[in-house]
Structure 1
Amino acid sequence: MTIGSFLELVEIQTKVASIIPFLLGTCYAVYRFDAFNLKNFLLMFVSLFCIDMATTAINNYQDFKRANKKHGYGYESHNAMVSHNLKESTALAMIFMLLAIAILFGILLFLNTNILVLVLGVLSFGIGVLYSFGPIPISRTPFGEIFSGGFMGFIIPFIAIYIHVYDQNVVNIAMKGGMINLDINILEILFIALISLPSTVGISNIMLANNICDIEDDLENKRYTLPVFIGKGPALKVFKSLYYIGYIALVILLIIGVVPWVSVITLATFVLVNKHISTFYEKQNKKDTFIVAVKNFVVVNMTFVVTLVVALIMK
């Protein structure tokens, strides 16, 4: 396996979907709690990056194995297993190596924090694998958008924040006498949910746009995704509405003062995002217009991250 074929197998260009929420959570932890733990930051980064690559590789491997339609952009050009003529044994070896690294660094992160990180890590790891593997992978069901957006958009920023503030009474978990005591700062969790919404809806829409583009192929390959269930028209309306929800969350955060005033700049991205929505409404295909969902996610959330960094510098 060459470096090029490996990067295509793991679809390295899509890793922004996990790295940006990770950076968002980190910047928010520094801004709101004035906390940063370099060791935990590095441990989570390696674990997260490897599990994301492994999940994508599993998805490509499963698509290769399960495909009924063995021609067209989604199979011959898009799937690295075919375009690079990769052996199944080579792909599986790479998948297991990535999973092993992710588990190792995840355990080290747990040992450096507390059991909540372990619980959320195991849950995320399980969902990541089940998303693309098993008798009925989540990605082949109408729940793919919920799980991808919920876990990558919310759980990643939450853990990225928590590894820096696990000792600051955001969430406290303790075991005593066979009992588990859990104390949650509801207000702070609500704030984290709100700051995570732009990335949550952005990631959900990447998945949704992908499934809208693949409706015909998914029917042939027996992938019963959300657009297959509700139809292309309603799916496009959901696509547009999710972005608006993200912007509403940003407005609320600015009004209540949880994020710095400079983050108002993020609202300016609405002009470009709305233009991309119109482009996707006109035509939906993987080759030409799917990329607008990725662009929307990056432009909104990276702008949000940059404004937090600017606020920290000004601070």
Structure 2
Amino acid sequence: MAITKFLKLVEIQTKAASMIPLLFGTIYAVYRFHVFEPWHFVLMLVSLLSFDMTTTAINNYYDYKKAARKHGYGYEKHNAIVKYNMSPAAVLALIILMFVIAVTAGVILFLQTGWLLLLLGGLSFAVGILYSFGPIPISRMPLGEIFSGLFMGFVIIFVSAYVHAGDRLASLTLEGGTVTLQVHLLETLLVFLISIPAILGIANIMLANNICDMEEDIENKRYTLPVYIGKGPALILFKLLYYAAYVDVIVLAILGVHPLILLLVFLTVVPVSKNIKTFTAQPTKQFTFGLSVQNFLLTNAARIVALGIAVIFTF
């Protein structure tokens, strides 16, 4: 399979939605706990990227199989299987291979960390598969934004911090048939609070995708959030989620969780606002959907850079 076809099948441009939370959780662990485990980072990177690509490929494969029509609404361009006339059998084999790689790296990481990683990793894998597969996939319900935001935002950031910090965040032990879960409530709450911009940004990528696909989704019986609430309210929600992320940064700075340098994130307000205006004026998969990914990168990459600078000054 040509690399161009593969990258289109897994929609490589959307992988920032999982890589950015991984980087942020890692840099947060270094800033908060002064610890970094390079081998754990590599294993999580391989597992996370492989599984993210797997779920995207499953989604495209499932769309191809379930689509009521395979032409119109730009379907011939944004579904790689149709665009490149790919063999469904070859796509399925690739999905299995990527899934095996993701599971293998995840199991090795579990053996080096603990049972909590197995629990959270298994739950994330289950949600990722159910997102695109099953009698009623999550992506075909008005819950896609919530699940994608929470799992790709909060859970990835939490796990990417946990693989370095370990029981300073939480632990799960199994002894003599007794399971003991210990959670550092304050630290876990702080991780959730710092995850809010990522949660909202990822939810907005999904929301933008569903807004662009509304007509196609209605015909193919995909009852996403914009289909339920309408395009107008969906576009309003799209705007509000971005600004709520900036409010979260202010709150965290006031609480002293984030260093003040993170207020530099507000420099991204101008380009983000411009992208919001452009998208809401013409929400299309071909021309403006990428702006939601760009906004996510702008707001969250800025936080990673600022936190990275703070880390340098603390050592």
Is 1:69–1:217's contact at 8 Å kept on the other side of the alignment?
Answer: no
Q: Which string of whole-angstrom CA distances, capped at 9 and with x for unpartnered residues, describes residues 207-252 of structure 1?
A: 0011111111110011000000111111112111111221111111
Contact 2:54 2:95 in 1 (8 A): yes
1:41 is aligned to 41
Report the 3-state secondary structure (helix = DSSP H, G, I; strand = E; otherwise coil) of the residue aligned with 1:223: coil
Paired position in structure 1 for 2:30: 30
Q: Quote how far apart the aligned CAs of 1:314 are.
A: 2.2
The Cα shift of 1:73 comes to 4.8
Aligned-pair CA distance for 1:172: 2.4
Q: CA deviation at 1:198?
A: 0.7
Aligned-partner SS, 1:148: helix
1:152 CA displacement: 0.3
Q: One-letter code of the match for 2:265? A: T
Structure 1 residue runs without a partner (length 5+): none
Per the alignment, residue 210 of structure 1 pairs with 209
**CA separation in 1, counterparts of 2:272 and 2:13?**
20
1:238 corresponding residue in structure 2:
237
Q: Provide the C-alpha distance between the structure 2 equivalents of 1:127 and 1:74, rounded to a whole number of angstroms.
A: 28
Secondary structure at the aligned position of 1:286 is classed as: coil
- The match for 2:5 is 5
Q: Distance in 2 between matches of 1:173 and 1:180?
A: 7
C-alpha displacement of 1:271: 2.0
Residue 73 of structure 2 contacts residue 216 of structure 2 at CA under 8 Å; is this kept in 1? no
In the alignment, which residue of structure 1 is the partner of 2:128?
A: 128
Kept in 2, the 8 Å contact 1:40–1:109? The answer is yes
| Structure 1 contact 197–249 (Cα < 8 Å) conserved | yes
Given residue 244 of structure 1, which amino acid in structure 2 is its aligned partner? Y
Pick which of 265-274 and 46-55 moved more. 265-274
2-structure distance, mates of 1:74, 1:47: 32
Structure-2 separation of matches of 1:74 and 1:119: 39
3-state SS of the aligned residue for 1:167? helix
- Bigger Cα displacement from structure 2, 32-41 vs 261-270: 261-270
- One-letter amino acid of the structure 2 residue matched with residue 242 of structure 1: L
Calculate percent identity across the aligned residue pairs. Answer: 54
Query: Structure 2, unaligned stretches of length 5 or more?
Result: none
Match of 2:253 in 1: 254
Secondary structure (helix, strand or coil) at the match of 1:182 reads: strand
CA contact (8 A) 1:197 1:246 kept: yes
Aligned length: 314
Point out 4+ residue stretches in structure 1 off by more than 3 angstroms: none
Counterpart of 2:190 in structure 1: which amino acid? F
| Equivalent position of 2:290 in the other structure | 291
Please give the alpha-carbon distance, in whole angstroms, between the structure 1 residues aligned to 2:158 and 2:138: 22
Partner of 1:175: 174
Aligned match of 2:279: 280
Q: TM-score, normalised by structure 1?
A: 0.97
Map Cα deviations across residues 144-202 of structure 1 (whole Å, 9 max, x no partner).
0001111001100100000001132x212222343222221111111101111111100
Over the aligned positions, Cα root-mean-square deviation in angstroms equals: 1.1
Q: TM-score, normalised by structure 2?
A: 0.97
Q: Which amino acid aligns with 2:261?
A: V
| Deviation string, structure 1 residues 35-77 (Cα, Å, up to 9, x no partner) | 1111110110000010001001101111111111321354201
Structure-2 residue corresponding to 1:91: 91
2:184 is the counterpart of 1:185? yes
**Is this contact kept in 1: 2:144–2:206, CA < 8 A?**
yes
Amino acid aligned to 1:152: M
- What displacement does 1:142 show? 0.3
CA separation in 2, counterparts of 1:259 and 1:156?
19
| Aligned 1:3-152 pairs, distance under 5 A | 3-152=3-152
Q: Distance in 2 between matches of 1:75 and 1:228?
A: 18
